[in-house]
Chains A and B, each alone.
Chain A
Amino acid sequence: MPQLTTNRFADRALDLVHSALNSRLAAALTYPHGVDRYVEQFAPTFALREVRAEVIATRHQTADSVTLTLRPNRNWQGFAAGQYVRLTVEINGVRRTRCYSPANSVHAKDGLIELTVKAHGDGFVSKHLKLDLRVGTTVFLSQAEGQFALPEQRPDRILLISGGSGITPVMSMLRTLCDEGHKGKITFLHYSNAASDQIYLDELAMINAQFLNVELLRAYNEDQSGELQGLFSREQLIKAVPDYADAQAFLCGPPGMMKVVQKVWADEGLSDQLHLEHFTAAPVVIDSANAEGEVRFIRSERLAKNSGATLLDQAEAAGLKPESGCRMGICKACTCIKTAGKVRDTRTGEISDAGEAEIQICVSVPVGTVTLDI
Chain B
Amino acid sequence: MSTFSKLTPEQFQQIGAEFDAIRNRVRADLGERDATYIRTLIKRQRQLEIGGRIMLMIPPAWPLGVAALGVSKILDNMEIGHNVMHGQYDFMGDAALNSQKFDWDSADTAKNWKLTHNYEHHTYTNVLNKDHDIGYGLLRMSEEQKWEPRFLANVPLTVILHTFFQHFVAVQNLKVEDVLIYKTKTKAQLKEDFKPVWQKMRKQLAKDYVFFPLLGGPMAPFVFVGNVAANLMRNVWACAVIFNGHFPEEVEQFPESVIENETRGQWYVRQLLGSANFSGGKLMHIMSGNLSFQIEHHLFPDLPAHRYAEISPEVRAICEKFGLPYNTGSFMRQTLSTWKRIVKLSFPSRTPAVRPLVTVDAVNDAAPAYKLAA
Contact = CB atoms under 8 A, between A and B. Distances in A.
B32 interface: yes
Contacts of B255: none
Nearest to A38: B46
Interface string A276-303: 0000000000000000000010111111
Interface residues of A, number: 26
A2 interface: no
A28 interface: yes
Contact of A95 (B92, B100, B372): B92
Interface string A38-62: 1001000000000000000000000
Contacts of B337: none
Interface in A247-304: 296, 298-303
Contact of A94 (B42, B93, B206): B93
Q: Interface size for chain B: under 10, 10 to 19, 20 to 34, or 35 or more residues?
A: 35 or more
A128 to B, nearest CB: 12
A191 to B, nearest CB: 35
B204 A93 contact: no
Contacts of B104: 32
B90 A320 contact: yes
B312 interface: no
Q: Is the interface of B mostly helix, strand, loop or mixed?
A: helix
Contacts of A36: 96
B200 interface: yes
Given A93-B31, A96-B93, A321-B90, A31 B372 contact: no
B103 A33 contact: yes
Interface in B1-35: 27, 30-35
A335 to B, nearest CB: 16
A303 B373 contact: yes
Given A90-B35, A93-B33, A296-B372, A29 B91 contact: no
B96 A93 contact: no
Contacts of A319: 27, 90-91
A334 B129 CA distance: 40
A35 B94 CA distance: 17
16 contacts: A28-B203, A29-B211, A32-B200, A33-B105, A37-B46, A93-B30, A93-B34, A94-B31, A94-B91, A94-B92, A94-B93, A95-B92, A96-B93, A301-B370, A319-B27, A321-B91
Interface of B: 27, 30-36, 42-43, 46-47, 50, 87, 90-94, 96, 98, 100, 103-105, 119, 200, 203-204, 206-207, 211-212, 215, 369-370, 372-373
The 7 closest A-B pairs by CB, nearest first: A93-B35, A95-B93, A32-B103, A92-B31, A93-B31, A93-B32, A321-B93
